[in-house]
Amino acid sequence: MRCELITWHGFQRLGRQLAYQIREAAFQPDVIVGIARGGYMPARLLSDYLGIMNLASFRIEHYRGAHKQPVTRVKYPLAAELSGQRVLLVDDVSDTGDTFEVALRHVHERGEPAAVRTAVMHHKITSTYVPDFYAKKVVKWRWIVYPWALMEDLTSLIRAMESQPSTVQGILQRLQHEHGIRVSPATVVDVLNFMQPAG
C-alpha cells in the first residue's frame, strides 16, 4: 500500500490554501463542524484563518456488522443546534464518500441549516462524494498519513509487516520500500514503545 506522509508544515500549507478557496467563494460560515477524529485539526485551523469562533464536532465510525459489510454510523452526535446557520462541514479526506453521506444527513437532523458546504484537505477521485472545497485532488489512490495520526498509522503498518524486522533500521527500510514513506528513527522507537503494554 503506497502512502503519502503529510508533515505539520504541509498540513498548514494545505489548510491555508483551503481557507483562501473558501474566502474567494465568499462563503462565510456561522459555525464550523469537524467530523471526528480526522476533521478536528483541519476544522480548528480553518476556524483560525476564517475567524470563526463557533466550532463543533461529532464522531462517525466505520465498523463491520454481522455479515461483514462495512457500516458507517454516527457514534457521538452533534450537540449544536444548526437551524438557520451557515455550516462548514470539515474532514481530513474524502476517500470513499460514505462518511460525508452520513455526516450530511446528521447535520440536517440538527435543525435545517441556511446553507451547508463541505471541505477537506485531500479529495480522492475514487470518492462518490465531491466536497465543495478541497486543497488537493488525489488522482492515483494512496493512503494519506496525517501528522495527527502518525502513531496510529505507523503502528498498523508495522504490525502488518510479515517477518517484522528486529531492528529500527530494518523497519525504516521496509516502510520506505513497501509504503514509500520516510520517518525518523526516533518516531519508530516511539511507535515500538507504545505498541507495548505500559508498565
Q: In this structure, are 137 and 178 located in the same domain?
A: no
- CB-neighbour burial class of residue 121 (10 A; exposed 0-12, middle 13-18, buried 19+): buried
Entry pTM: 0.90
Q: Decide: helix, strand or coil at residue 163.
A: coil
Cα gap 173→93, rounded to integer Å = 27
Which is nearest to 95 in space by CA: 20, 4, 160, 191?
A: 4
Q: What angle do CA 161, 163, 169 make, to 5 degrees?
A: 75
Mean pLDDT by 10 residues, the chain (199 residues): 95 98 97 96 98 95 57 87 96 93 94 96 96 97 95 94 92 96 96 86
In a domain, 1, yes or no: no
In a domain, 38, yes or no: yes
In a domain, 3, yes or no: no
pLDDT at 196: 84
Cα gap 5→146, rounded to integer Å = 6
* Identity at 142, one-letter amino acid code: R
CATH code at position 89: 3.40.50.2020
Instruction: State the residue range of the domain holding 168.
Output: 147-195
Q: In this structure, are 130 and 153 located in the same domain?
A: no
- Total structural domains in the chain? 2
Which is nearest to 131 in space by CA: 51, 55, 27, 52?
A: 27
Q: In this structure, are 107 and 170 located in the same domain?
A: no
Longest dimension (CA), the chain: 57
Q: What's the residue count for the chain?
A: 199
Tell me the pLDDT tens digit for each residue of 165-188. Answer: 999 999 999 999 999 999 999 999
Q: In this structure, are 23 and 90 located in the same domain?
A: yes
Q: Could you give the count of Cα atoms lying within 13 Å of 157 in the half-sphere of its Cβ?
A: 29
pLDDT at 66: 41
In a domain, 52, yes or no: yes
